[in-house]
Chain A
Amino acid sequence: MTKSTLRRLLVGAAVLIAAGATATALASTSSSAVTRARLERDLPGTFANLYVQQAKILGRPRITVASLHAKAQCDKGGPKVADHGPGTDWICLMSWDDPNVPLPDGSGKFELNVHSNACYTAGGPSKLIGQLTITDTKGDDVPNPVFEFDGCFDPHGDNTPTGVEFPKLPSTTTPLPGQPATAGTPAVVSLGSGPLRLHDGVVAIPLTCSAGDGGCAGTLRIRPGAATATYVVAAGSTTTLNVPLPRRASRLASARLAFTPVIGRGPSTLVETSITTG
């Protein structure tokens, strides 16, 4: 019994390995069902449907799927990676028409985790589409339907290019002098909205680092006063930098910030901001 069982198992294993090897050889020449064109066709429709749900929750019934004109341009893993196949590195820029939500860069950036079964999970920029929960017209907190959503597209669907191409406008992608423009998608540091808060001679500076390679780090000079600070912010996160100001600068009402990024990028010009004391 044991000997013949062992032989059967060995034969079986050999058959499986041979079948697997043949199949892998066959498959290695193949293309994926997950393509840029199919994503660009599916994502805007799904987003528009869910955005209309969100608009209803927020009490803005005049927004319809047709009025949104949602369009997407998708890319996998930067310019060096072919735009097909599953992965967590799909980025889709999407534009839509909502008079209440202007898109400063002309589009919003969505990060997609696309699976080999042609289903994906998309997460959008919370500045444009809101947080995890939103407040409905009755004042209750409800889940935001567009904050993160799933979709599935037809793996045999239309695969001709959509031709959607956004101008390479987003200020965040302007290369800085001395930095190679081709390096993936570097993270970009920016100043949080609202005035800086000054308390006991220490100014709190909210910093945001966009998702990208390596996060953001560098030095920051505050003028006038010439205080200098070093910032390190992880990609896709926000932090508050507390910088002690020289005594003569403790009553500033406004300041200009100069970023000198070492990792990632930053605003190339001085950033004007106001300061509140208290």
Chain B
Amino acid sequence: MSTATETLGPGAAAAGIRPLPTLLDAVGWEVRKLSAQIRARAVLLLMVIAPPLIVVIVNGQGRPPKDTLFGRYVHDSGYAMPLLILGFASQWVLPMLTAIVAGDIFAAEDHHGTWKTLLTRSASRGQVFWAKAITSIAFAIVAVVLLAASTIGSSVLIVGHQQLTGLGGQLIPSGTAAWLVGLSWATALAPMIGFTCLALLLSIWTRNPAFGIAAPVVIGLTMQLVGTLGGIEALRPLLLTTPFESWHGLLAQERFYGPLTSGLVASAVWSIGCLAAGYLIMRRRDFTGG
């Protein structure tokens, strides 16, 4: 807090040199930095290209992958494949997708030694923090939306839009199935934002991009393991991986929304907790030491 960088902004504005940068400006800088990254572009491109390939390959298999929900129906309905891929992606692909950006976005400044440059650009620490958080969350949402659209679109085009057998054995008409599959993918957004905030916190805390990217994936896998163990199931609602399964209720014969609600609460608690911790660490950090 004692650094001179914080007071530079108001002083410059008072001198009438230039208006203070707004949060929007700061977000703009972050988006520009992100879109210049080959890694981020490659991830988004992959989200669009990979699903059709996966759908073609899985659809070509004689034996459907029965060990994941809806795997046994991949040949029967084009709505089964997006749910199979959702179930698989939420195991580690989705946490990794967001960690690639969020786990790096703070630590990269440490890595390149650019904090001092950034914080002397008359933007406050709070603005920089929120700009990076908003950019990361936006990236996570865009990645999920692209992946969902590409997966649902390609499997409906390749396999078809037949009626779907739900998780209660009931037949779901094609139109309803399309809605439910879209909604199921939408439920992944809440835990995805939670993982984004977790990766942001780790990125700020460890100042290490590799740790920021890998740790959320490892934490996600660990939570999943904990969630499958019998005997400690009271932990399940607290885990950030449980909301990834809350879409099951939408596909039951009598839809249930309990896991959706508790999943939203868990995701919100994790997101707010991680953001608050990250913000505090960043406010108190001494960047002058380099």
Contact B206 A152 (CB under 8 A): no
Q: Which residues of A contact B184 (CB under 8 A)?
A: none
- Once the chains are docked, how many angstroms separate the CA of A150 from the CA of B249? 14
Footprint of A on B, CB under 8 Å? Answer: 66, 69-70, 72, 165, 167-171, 205-208, 227-236, 238, 242, 245, 248-249, 251-254, 256, 258-259
Query: Are A32 and B233 in contact (CB-based, < 8 A)?
Result: yes
From the candidates A8, A24, A143, name the one contacting B235 in the complex (CB within 8 A).
Answer: A24
Residue pairs across A and B with Cβ atoms less than 8 A apart, 7 shown, are A5-B206, A23-B238, A29-B234, A32-B233, A116-B227, A117-B236, A155-B258
- How would you classify the secondary structure of chain A's contact residues: helix, strand, loop or mixed? mixed
Please tell me if A107 contacts chain B, counting CB pairs below 8 Å.
no
A 118-137 binary contact with B (CB < 8 Å = 1; else 0)? 11000000000000000000
Query: Once the chains bind, are A28 and B169 in contact (CB under 8 Å)?
Result: no
Report whether A119 and B232 are in contact in the complex, using a CB–CB cutoff of 8 Å: no
The number of A-B residue pairs with CB atoms under 8 Å apart is 109
Q: Known A-B contacts: A24-B232, A27-B231, A152-B249. Give 17 more (CB < 8 A).
A: A24-B235, A31-B233, A32-B231, A33-B233, A45-B169, A46-B253, A47-B169, A49-B168, A49-B253, A85-B233, A116-B227, A116-B228, A117-B242, A119-B167, A148-B66, A150-B167, A152-B252
A261 part of interface (Cβ distance < 8 Å): no
Q: A12-B205, A87-B230 are in contact. Are A119 and B169 (CB under 8 A)?
A: no
Q: Determine if A101 is an interface residue (Cβ-Cβ < 8 Å).
A: no
- List chain B residues, Cβ under 8 A from A118: 248
A17 to B87, CA, bound (A): 29
Whether A5 contacts B208 in the complex (CB less than 8 A), given A27-B232, A49-B168, A116-B233, comes out as: yes
Q: Which residues of A contact B (CB under 8 A)?
A: 5, 8-9, 12, 23-24, 26-34, 42, 45-50, 53, 85-87, 115-119, 143, 145, 148-157
Chain B residues lying within 8 Å of A47, measured Cβ to Cβ, are 169
Specify which chain B residues have a CB less than 8 angstroms from the CB of A148 in the assembled complex.
66, 72
Bound CA span A115–B233, Å? 11
